[in-house]
Amino acid sequence: MTSPGSATELDQLILPAIPPVHLNSGQVAALQVTDRLHRGTEIVGRFEASGLAGFKVSSQGRALRVLLSLSLDDRSVPGWQSGRAEPGAGLPRLVQVRSQGRLRQCVLLKGKRAHARVAFDLAPEEIPDDGLVCVELLDIAEGDGVSEELRQAVSGRVMSEGVAGMRLNKVVFEEPPAVDFDPDTLDGARCELSTLISAGGMANLNRQGVRVLRSGMFVVNPVLKDTFGSSGRVTFRLGTKAEPASVIPATWRRVNSELRWMRHAARKVLGMAAPPVDQVFSLRDGDLGVPEQRTDGNVTELLLPSAKTSPFLVIMGPCLGAVPTLESASSY
């Protein structure tokens, strides 16, 4: 036996995660620290409220890329342990993702089947000698370093206790590749897949094309180095989509009614004004002033600098009888 307070030969050997590694269970030795995270067997765990997970990782003095998979399900409600849904549970969730004490990205999730991806790099100096890498999820109203202006702007528009019941499905640790593929343009759905934006979640991970912004807002995130949206400026092309009519039973008697509605919706979209952008906030610095935007017919082009150090929150104006959409983004 060694001296009191020291490790003994009876202590369990802690095996660090050696990159590249995919962790999809909470029953692994590398998961060393949990705070309000209930460990899972087929997922890493479920957050009771804002909390963190700490992993022991063998980085060996090298940079690390961290990839997270988050999602919601029927149990993702405030008070999920008791099974009682709290008021405001139908509102979108705006959640901070932090690591090693720094805000990395934000996710905006809405609906019972929403998924989100998070991706960020850790520099060698951010990883301590013991290899403990912490991933923290915080509600937008909690923690420091978030502008009070932004918190007031989203009050009542997003769910309080936004982390409650959220699933941490998988965590990946790997070395950053030497070069990342960097296209010039991405459609709205792939902007969310790449983590550049978060607009409610990727209900269908294979979806491509226009991204509907039913929450009336979206987050623009700092992204991985040398990837789309990481430098220069980004132009977001915003459009509108007619609100759907009530669901029509799929019977031959209703086919003509459905076709008439589709023709009406097409005419309506052509006559719509361009979707307005009311405000753009930096999570750290607050209101960024009047956003730079130009309109052409029913299309708005929103020009933003790359979100290098803090996510931006874009809040749309009202679109009567329609919902705003993100058609594409171009990086310069």
Convert the pLDDT of each residue in 301-311 to its tens digit.
Answer: 999 999 999 99
pLDDT grade, residue 171 (50/70/90)?
very high
Instruction: Judge whether residue 293 has pLDDT over 60.
Output: yes
172, 133 Cβ separation under 8 angstroms: no
pLDDT in tens, 76-95: 887 766 666 565 568 999 99
Q: Does the pLDDT of residue 166 top 50, yes or no?
A: yes
Residue 322 phi, psi dihedral angles, 5° rounding: -150, 170
pLDDT tens digits, 174-228: 999 877 666 789 999 999 999 999 999 986 777 789 999 999 999 999 999 888 9
281, 149 in Cβ contact below 8 A?
yes
Section 120-124 average pLDDT: 97
**Confidence band of 272 (pLDDT split at 50, 70, 90):** low
Kind plus residue range of the DSSP H or E element containing 187: strand 185-187
> Span 35-42, mean pLDDT?
96
- Return the closest-CA partner of residue 161 out of 185, 134, 140: 140
Q: Is the pLDDT of residue 261 over 60?
A: no
Q: What is the DSSP letter of 206?
A: T
Greatest CA separation found in the chain?
84
The burial class, CB within 10 Å (0-12 / 13-18 / 19+), for 221 is buried
First to last CA, the chain: 63
Q: Which amino acid is at 141?
A: A
Work out the pLDDT band at 3, boundaries 50, 70, 90.
Answer: very low
Two tokens at 236? Answer: 């977001």
β-strand pairing of 286-287 with 292-296: unpaired
Measured distance CA(310)–CA(228) in Å, rounded: 16
Between residues 172 and 5, the one the model is more confident about:
172
Length of the chain: 332
pLDDT, tens digit, 9 for 90 and up, residues 26-38: 999 999 999 999 9
Q: Give the pLDDT mean for 160-174.
A: 95
Q: Which residues contact 246 (CB under 8 A, 6 or more apart)?
A: none
How far is it, in rounded angstroms, from Cα 13 to Cα 191? 42
pLDDT, averaged across the chain = 87
pLDDT of residue 267: 45
Q: Shortest CA distance to 192 belongs to which of 101, 291, 105?
A: 105
Q: In this predicted structure, what is the pLDDT of residue 273?
A: 78
